[in-house]
Amino acid sequence: MKILYIGKEGTSLTGAGTYDNLLYRELSKRHNVTLYEQGLDLGQDWDIAHCSDLKHLTFTVARQLRCPLVVDIHDYYWIRYFHFLCLDFPLRFLIQRYRRIKYRLLFRHIDGIILHGRYLYDRIDHPSKYLNFYFGLEHHAVSDRDWDNRENLLLFVGGDFFRKGLPRLLRALPLVLTRVPDAKLVVIGTDVFYARLFATWLSRGLPVEFIYGMPRESVYELYARAKALVLPSEIEATPLVISEALIAGIPPVISDVGGHPELVIDGQTGYLFKVDDTALLAQRLITCLTDRDVSERLVKQGREFFKPFTIPKMMEQLESVFRSVIAKAGTRE
């Protein structure tokens, strides 16, 4: 196929950025792929165009394309306003309203939408949507280490600290320290300056290190030092970081929201907790830091769960979506 690929400019350390880089590489191995760079690209004859994230799609691109357009959607936060503790909630409210209008208008120009997870699929309304749950995982890129050689280290990986529930984690950390005094939390991710300042202030007196941006390879190396990934999100879709953690040998402790239950079976491949249950969050983290047998069992079963998430499987399903969208577009002409 001749494919025009529309991705994010520059390097992204988010899960969607990982997917974007992987997808472009793998499509280029199998098809004649051109990375969109300028308006002249839009007027050429392509079999299909693929935008790896709705956030990257502009009205100019959507209107001027002369071929079917497929778009990935990685979140649902624009559907309605979700309130949680943060300094910029008025701005978030306005952005949510803007994106809701913008995306609904863009939907008119999109021929197929790919959604990664049933929770997301059930909330996005489009006449041509596809559930492509399997994202490809690169096991060889992630380091592993025996449990005894790991530190009592908790990892929080991801930007947008307050949507991802960092204040809740900071409230649970003192409870963890009563049982594991040398426990430490490392927060890896970027956020706006005022959110970083507020998060730093909330963590005062606690063993917390903030790393504002880190090459993905270094993040993978840090996985090998930790004993648990913690993601107490207020709202969430299906974050890639959960599967990366299990591959690296650390169990995830995550809130029971959004698409999280699709990625973790509580007590079997990790732990889920009700988002407002700080005591249970602390208890689960203590278990991961102190109980080798439980941790290794969770990791083993989690890795089995993610075995089908292979690059060939992802590409097989994606190409099936392409063929379906092209066929539907042909019947309308």
pLDDT tens, residue by residue, 76-97 = 999 999 999 999 999 999 999 9
- The answer on pLDDT for 133 being more than 90 is no
Q: What is the pLDDT of residues 158-176, one digit of tens each?
A: 989 999 999 999 999 999 9
Nearest Cα neighbor of 159 from 210, 207, 202, 205 is: 210
Domain range summary for the chain, segments of one domain joined by +: 2-136+310-332, 139-306
Contact 229, 252 (CB under 8 A): yes
Q: What is the pLDDT of residue 108?
A: 95
- The answer on pLDDT for 141 being more than 70 is no
Strands 48-51 and 69-73: parallel
- The answer on pLDDT for 249 being more than 70 is yes
- The answer on pLDDT for 139 being more than 60 is yes
The conformation of residue 183, written as its DSSP 8-state character, comes to -
| Mean pLDDT score, 98-109 | 96
More confident residue, 331 or 268: 268
> Using CA atoms, how far apart are residues 229 and 157, in angstroms rounded to an integer?
8
- The answer on pLDDT for 21 being more than 80 is yes
| Mean pLDDT score, 309-332 | 88
| Mean pLDDT score, 34-62 | 92
| Mean pLDDT score, 248-272 | 96
> Using CA atoms, how far apart are residues 179 and 205, in angstroms rounded to an integer?
17
Strands 228-231 and 153-157: parallel
Q: What is the pLDDT of residue 329?
A: 85
* Six token digits for residue 108: 């008119």
| Mean pLDDT score, 104-117 | 95
Q: What is the pLDDT of residue 10?
A: 53
Residues 6+ positions from 284 with CB-CB distance below 8 Å: 253, 271, 273
Q: What is the pLDDT of residue 13?
A: 52
Q: What is the pLDDT of residues 179-227, one digit of tens each?
A: 999 999 999 999 999 999 999 999 999 999 999 988 877 888 899 999 9
Contact 51, 36 (CB under 8 A): no
Q: What is the pLDDT of residue 11?
A: 52
Q: What is the pLDDT of residue 14?
A: 55
Query: Residue 52: what are its φ and ψ, rounded to 5°?
Result: -75, -10
Chain centroid, CA 274 distance in Å = 20
Mean pLDDT of the chain: 92
| Mean pLDDT score, 2-12 | 78
- The answer on pLDDT for 314 being more than 70 is yes
Cα–Cα separations (whole angstroms), residue 120 to 83, 101, 124, 140 = 19, 18, 6, 29
User: Which class is domain 139-306?
Assistant: alpha beta
Contact 87, 198 (CB under 8 A): yes
Topology agreement, domain 2-136+310-332 and domain 139-306: yes
User: Which class is domain 2-136+310-332?
Assistant: alpha beta
Q: What is the pLDDT of residues 279-288, one digit of tens each?
A: 999 999 999 9
Which contacts of 300-303 are long-range, i.e. CB under 8 A and separated by 24 or more positions? 301/265, 301/268, 301/269, 302/246, 302/251, 302/252, 302/264, 302/269, 302/270, 303/246, 303/247
Q: What is the pLDDT of residues 321-333, one digit of tens each?
A: 999 999 998 765 4
